[in-house]
Each structure stands twice: as structure tokens, then as C-alpha cells.
Amino acid sequence: MTRAVSAIVGMGPGNGAALARRFAADGSPVALLSRGTDFSSQLARELPAARAYACDASQPEAVQAAFAQVAAQQGPVGTLIYNAGSGAWGSVEQVSGADLEQCWRVNTLGLFTAMQAVLPGMKQRGGGAIVIIGATASRRGGAGAAAFAQAKAAQRALAESMARQLWPQGIHVALIIIDGIVDLPRTRAQRPDKPESFFVQPAAVAESAWWLTHQPRSAWSFEIEARPFGETW
Amino acid sequence: MTRAVSAIVGMGPGNGAALARRFAADGSPVALLSRGTDFSSQLARELPAARAYACDASQPEAVQAAFAQVAAQQGPVGTLIYNAGSGAWGSVEQVSGADLEQCWRVNTLGLFTAMQAVLPGMKQRGGGAIVIIGATASRRGGAGAAAFAQAKAAQRALAESMARQLWPQGIHVALIIIDGIVDLPRTRAQRPDKPESFFVQPAAVAESAWWLTHQPRSAWSFEIEARPFGETW
Amino acid sequence: MTRAVSAIVGMGPGNGAALARRFAADGSPVALLSRGTDFSSQLARELPAARAYACDASQPEAVQAAFAQVAAQQGPVGTLIYNAGSGAWGSVEQVSGADLEQCWRVNTLGLFTAMQAVLPGMKQRGGGAIVIIGATASRRGGAGAAAFAQAKAAQRALAESMARQLWPQGIHVALIIIDGIVDLPRTRAQRPDKPESFFVQPAAVAESAWWLTHQPRSAWSFEIEARPFGETW
Amino acid sequence: MTRAVSAIVGMGPGNGAALARRFAADGSPVALLSRGTDFSSQLARELPAARAYACDASQPEAVQAAFAQVAAQQGPVGTLIYNAGSGAWGSVEQVSGADLEQCWRVNTLGLFTAMQAVLPGMKQRGGGAIVIIGATASRRGGAGAAAFAQAKAAQRALAESMARQLWPQGIHVALIIIDGIVDLPRTRAQRPDKPESFFVQPAAVAESAWWLTHQPRSAWSFEIEARPFGETW
């Protein structure tokens, strides 16, 4: 009997790669979906049963096509991790309507379309898990994150609507609020003054996502933080 | 010297009309912007210095064009009331990606575009007010409001980003959470069993919006509720 | 016919005095309750129908006795403003259990006891208003406000329970979150570098409290902020 | 080298017993603190390295004495689970000031005193974990939970102050919001119509508490829910 696929949307050297490694650790099949595939193809080769798929999360047709490919090549998706979520920085005086729209399409519309793609299979299997990677901006509309915060808040509200509708059907929708700076060569270079305790380790985020997908269903969590112990909040 | 215009986006027989009447009550000019103008044109004739403008809030070009007309015909906008906000009902299994997008365009992108249109004038005048009409769904992603809640949450986060950026410039951005059913012939007919105490009176919402635009700036409110005293919450 | 009394618990040169002046402005009777009466007695002499009462808000018997005096000397209370609320500063490593308890008694138990004292009269009159003066700490447990934040959070939750129970009976319970530093000779001296725009003006807080007690009951607010326009939040 | 003790305050057949079993599962010493010791003594005999202590959480001296005994008999506490938390039900018209105080002493003052008792040891060891068992009322002041909600809100704010102060010192303070009815013979009997999916399983709560105490410190959670998948929220 084939094991269900873990599909991860949004793939880079930080949380994306760590999530892929964690969900592939027991040999389960993982599908890596991202706009470009240079990084994900390389990563897929290092993992036991992984495949990379090109998928622009802001384009519903592209998301639908990619998930159709996943189903055809690897089988039904049991776990969806939605990690797509970059965004333009700047205040309401600096960003454009196009920035708002692109941010919303990647963070919110993409999540909705991916959910639609995997839902029939999850319902048929009698359950599943959908974990969304949020950010501080999911909870707070900061002055300098006008485009990003509105998209992350929309994503969080959509996740909440999904949870209320899908939990009773055995599908665990959960949100991880990353409240800190993810440890990457790029972010380290930007903050050379900061100690290691300042950064969120992607492997730890992946561990939380893994745990959420294995919680007993009588005590599910909807929203949890991933915040470095040294963070001021 | 000409008095600044109060521009109200979203015009119907409920909050829209009540807001128009309240802000026109002292004879000040009001601009009524809405997709169709049958209702607003009629209303404009009843008010001392009002004009109706066709404006599809989901289309940035339409919003920009309408505000250019307002400026040309009535002068600079000192107060913007953003009341556009209908939405498709249904769970994540019932609504479509197009529903999510339309909802987001009307509630969030439209607010952003309207804000962009009035901001230069407000900054030139050294101040202004922007009041957004929210809903219970601005705070809570209910199962049956998947499209509406994600849009209202995005709108609220955008309002918060706007407030943090624009308050120090003298522009009071505030949000009214309507937590109840607005009293309209239509909503009364849908709930014939409910007493008057069940409904939100549009005139009372308008009174709150008026008050927000007149708060002393040393004690501004960002978010207030408009909730009937008999409501269960 | 006698007009109902506005009773204000917590009296000092900031919000307390401003609330007293505002609610006495139309000649209505006001009762000024505070631990010491040096300040309040002086203030009472300046107002048309005011009296000062000694009342240690942390002692239920003292609160009951003071309200019995108010009833005997000025008549039934129609509006209760709960402004008592000082607190020990410090982290959980700096404050004591006694600090927590004293803070809780003044902010929460005192509110409950004052509410009990005025409730029968409000119910008999068919309505009333109870306005509580909260703080940033009502919403957020900061590291340096361990004793104060737990008390303010308890006060806010109690206010919410009161609102849900008492609104349907015509009693408007509302909470004002003071999110900033109140303008006082003392606070000015502590922050000589700050411009006037940094401070919350007590008269503006009083104006908001007054407005809350006059909202039409079809659109009541429970919680509003009083935040200076220049505040970073 | 002796292993650090897990001390659990609040011991009954539901979450208390499940927490004890979970933290004792690897043979580690556990200390069971509760007002009465009939139940906890029995339970302690079933576990490898457990001891029961009488401790009225509402009395600071009793809490201090009990923790002194734990230290003397079992050694330093590495993990504190604060599960004390019963409360009087009823609206603000039904509960008394004494109910509010008792609730606050058990939920908030007791947590503070227990934290004070274990903090020096945790700091000396360079870390530790404090997990608090909250409830729906930690977030929401319901009409029928006037005494309980104010106490749970105070507890939550105190937990937040503790987290902000103690995380940087390596002490992981976290809060589990139990959002549902715990599965017990008593609660089953009260709701004979409800399916198993309606109830929170204590073993699942204990699993979440265990997980929180083992999260990597670069991605700690402060607040998580334990909510049955079938719950309406």
C-alpha cells in the first residue's frame, strides 16, 4: 500500500528545505512545489522519495496543474504544508496596489487553490493535515509591512475558516506563526551583530510542523508560535 | 474658503445613506461613490451639497477616476468613509477562488486605492480622517464566511498599517466593527421574529463614524465596535 | 425630579479630575470616591453638585460604605466610572505576591464591589452606564508590568463578563484602553524630551467616556482605545 | 546524577493524572501537589518515582512549604506544570467577591508563588520549563464565568509576563488553552448525548505539555490550544 504524499508549497534553503527533510525522514514521499526548480530539484535528489514540481503559487491554474502532476506521479496527498509567502516591504506610502495583489495571491489565493486540489483526496481518505507557515504579520499590521500584513492576515482568517469547516471532517488545519528571523546565510549576513539565539532554526520549525500533523485529534492546536527564546516580543 | 469634502465609498439604504446624511447634516459637501448610481443620485438630490459618482470599488482605475472627478467637481477630500464591503457567503467548500478575489478587491484593494487617491490632499492640508466600516468577520474567520472573512481580515490589517503610518501625520485612520445585523427592510423580512433591539441602526453607526472624525488627537481610537445592546457575543 | 449621580472611583489630577469636570459640566451631581480626600474635596468645591467620599477601592467594606453614603447624600447612581488602578512596576523577579494581590484588589475586586453597589439601582431605573479606565496592560502582559498586567487583564475579563450579562438589561459596560502616558506635571517632568503630541490629554479621555455613556444602544462599543496620534504602537 | 523533578500542581483523575503519568513515563521523578492527597497518594504508588504532597494552591505559605518538601525529598524541580484551576460558575449577578478572590488565588497567586519557589533552582541549572493549563476562559470573559474568567485572564497575563522575562534565561513558559470539555466519568455523565469526539482526552493534553517542554529553544511556542477536532469554536 502506498503511503500518502507530503506536499510542500514554497521551497528555499530555509523552512522549505527543512520541512522537506523532516517529512521525508521516514522515507515517505514528498512533493516539492515552487516557482523555480533549481533548488528543489537538487534537494529532491538528496531525499529518498522526493520530486520537484514547478508551481507559481500566485496562479491558480499553475497550482492546479502542479497538484495534478503530484497525484499522477506520486499519488494522493495526505499532508499539505503551505510555506509560500514572500512579500514586498514598505509602508502604505511605498507599496503599490500591484504589490498588495501579488502578496495576496501568493499567500491567500494560492493556499485556497492548493487546499481545493488536495481536499477531495483527503475527504476520501477520511482525514489529512494542512499546515500553514505564517509570520508575525499574520497577527499585526505593522507600518512597514503594508502589503505583507494584509496578505498574511487574510491567510490567517482563511486558515481559521478552513479549520472550522474541515476539522470535523478529520482534516487538521493549523498555523505556525514564525515570530523571528529565520537563520539563513542571507539573514546572518544582514545581522552580523546578532548571536545564534536571535534566529529561528528552520529544523525547529519543521519539527513543530511535523508534531502538529501527529497530534491526537482530541486535542488539536490551531495556532502556535515558533519564536526564538531570546526574542523580544 | 471651501469646506473639505466627505467622500463615502459604498452607498445603499443602510449604513451608506445614514453616513451620507450625517456628514451632510451641517451643510458640508459629500461625495457618494458606488457601483450603481440609481440610489445615490436620488439621495444626493435630498442633501444640501451632495453629488453621486459611479465607482466600482474593485477596479483601481475606476476608483482613481471617480476620485479625480470628486476633486474636480467638489474639491479636496478631508474625510474618507470606506463602506464598500459586500461578500459571497459560504464555506471553503462552497466558495470559489473568484469569490475570494472579488471580495478582496472590493474590501481591501479598493480601500488602498481610495486611500492613495485622497492621501496627497490630506497631507497637504495637514490632516484628515479615514473611517473603515468593518464587520464581525474582520476579527473572526467563521466557517460560513470563508471569502468574506479573509477579505475583512486583510482590510483590518491594512487599516492597522495605515493607522501606524498616517496617524503621526495627523490622519486619523479608524475602524468600526459592525457586530450585528443592520436594520433594513430586507434584513427585517429575513428575521421577522426578532425585536428591534436585535438590529444595528444605521444612524447610530453614522453617529459613531462622525464622532471618530472629531476625536481630539491626543486620545484617538483605532478600533471600536457597533453592537446592539441585546446581541449575544 | 433628581438627576442620577455620576460616581467616579479613583481621583487624581489626571483622568480623575477631568472625568469629574466633564460629567459635572451640565450641572449633574457627581460623587468623587478616592482613598485620600485632600484632592477630591478641593475639586468638589469647584464643581456645581459634587461631593468627595473616602473610599479605599481595595477594601470591599469600604467600597460598600462609600456607595451607601453616596446614595444617602446624593441619590441613585446612573453612571459609574471606574478609574482606580495604580500598580506596582517590576518583573516577576521583582514584584511580590502582595503586590499582585494589592493590584488585583484595586483594579478587579474594587470594580466588582462598586458594580454590585450600583447594580440594583440601575436595574430599578432600567439602565445605566459603567465605564472602566484600562491601560495598555489590559491587553498585554509586558515583562516589566507583572503585577499590573495580571490585574488589568482580570479587570478587562471581568468587564467583558459584565458587558455580556448587563447590556441586555440596558446597562452599558465599556472599557477605555489608555495606550500612552497621561499628561501630568509628574509625567512631563519624567519625559522632558517629549513633545505635547506624546501625551494623552485627560480632558480627551473624559470626552470619550462621556461619549460612551451617550451612545445609542443599537450600536454600543465595548472597548475603545485612547491613544495619542504620535504614539508608536 | 539525579534527574530533575517534574512538579505538577493540581491533581485529579483528568489532566492531573495524565500529566503525572506522561512525565513519569521515562522513570523521571514527579512531585504531585494538591489540596487533598487521597487521589494523589494512590497515584504516586503506581508511578516509578512519584511522591504526593498536600498543597493548597490558594495559600502562599502552603505552596512555599510544599515546594520546600519537594526539594528536600526529591531534589530540584526542572519542570513545573501548573494545573490548579477550578472555579465558581455564575454571572456577575450570581458570584460573590469571595468567589472572585478564591478563583484568583488558586489560578494566579498560586502560579506566582510556585514560580517563585522553583525559579532559583531553574536559574542555577540554566533552564527549565513552566507549563500552565489554561481554559477557554483565559481568552474570553463569558457571561456565565465571571469569577473564573477574570482569574484565568489574570493567569494568562501573568504567564505572558513570565515568558517575556524568563525565556531569555532559558526557562520556557508556555500556556495550553483547553478549549473543550475534558473526558471524565463526571463530564460524560453530564453529557450522555455527546460522542467521544466531543471530549478532550487528558492523555492528549499531557502529550502536548510534554512536547512543549521538549521544543528546541530556537522555536518555542507560548500559547497553544488543545481542542477536540469536533468542537464548534
For the cut 80, the answer to whether the pLDDT of residue C86 exceeds it is no
Residue of D nearest to A178 (CA): D219
Question: Residue C87's pLDDT band (boundaries 50, 70, 90)?
Answer: confident
How many structural domains is chain B composed of? 1
Q: What cell does C47 get?
A: 464643581
Identify which of C19, C141, C152 has the alpha carbon closest to the alpha carbon of residue C91: C141
For the cut 50, the answer to whether the pLDDT of residue B1 exceeds it is no
Question: Average per-residue pLDDT in chain C?
Answer: 96
Q: Is the pTM of this model over 0.95?
A: yes
Does residue B233 lie within any of the structural domains?
Answer: no
Task: Find the angle CA(D214)-CA(D219)-CA(D220) to the nearest 5 degrees.
Answer: 55
Euclidean distance between CA atoms C32 and C44, whole angstroms? 8
User: Which residues does C contribute to its contact with B (CB < 8 Å)?
Assistant: 164, 167-168, 170, 172, 183, 196-197, 199-201, 203-205, 207-208, 211, 215-233
Does residue A190 lie within any of the structural domains?
Answer: yes
Q: Are A232 and A182 in contact (CB under 8 A)?
A: no
For residues D109-118, average pLDDT: 98
For the cut 60, the answer to whether the pLDDT of residue C60 exceeds it is yes
For residues B125-136, average pLDDT: 97
Measured distance between the N- and C-terminal CA atoms of chain B, rounded to whole angstroms: 47
* Range(s) of the domain holding residue B85: 5-226
Question: Which of C164, C196, C207, C218 has the highest number of chain B CBs within 10 A, making it the mutation to test binding with B?
Answer: C218
Does residue C79 lie within any of the structural domains?
Answer: yes
Determine the pLDDT at residue A109.
Answer: 98
For residues B85-107, average pLDDT: 95
For the cut 60, the answer to whether the pLDDT of residue C149 exceeds it is yes
Does residue A29 lie within any of the structural domains?
Answer: yes
Does residue C76 lie within any of the structural domains?
Answer: yes
For the cut 80, the answer to whether the pLDDT of residue C24 exceeds it is yes
Residue D122, domain CATH: 3.40.50.720
Q: Are A227 and D216 in contact (CB under 8 A)?
A: no
For residues B180-200, average pLDDT: 93
Q: Are D132 and D155 in contact (CB under 8 A)?
A: yes
> Is residue D10 classed as helix, strand or coil in its secondary structure?
coil
Tell me which residues of chain A have a pLDDT lower than 50: 1
ipTM above 0.90, yes or no: yes
Euclidean distance between CA atoms D135 and A119, whole angstroms? 31
The H or E element that residue B175 is part of is strand B171-178
Residue of A nearest to D199 (CA): A218
Does residue C14 lie within any of the structural domains?
Answer: yes
Does residue A232 lie within any of the structural domains?
Answer: no
Does residue A206 lie within any of the structural domains?
Answer: yes
Task: Find the angle CA(D18)-CA(D24)-CA(D26) to the nearest 5 degrees.
Answer: 125
User: Which residues does D contribute to its contact with C (CB < 8 Å)?
Assistant: 60, 91-93, 97, 100-101, 104, 108-109, 112-113, 115-116, 119, 137, 140-143, 145-146, 149-166
For residues C125-149, average pLDDT: 97
Determine the pLDDT at residue D1.
Answer: 47
Euclidean distance between CA atoms A187 and A201, whole angstroms? 12
Q: What cell does C58 get?
A: 481595595
For the cut 70, the answer to whether the pLDDT of residue C1 exceeds it is no
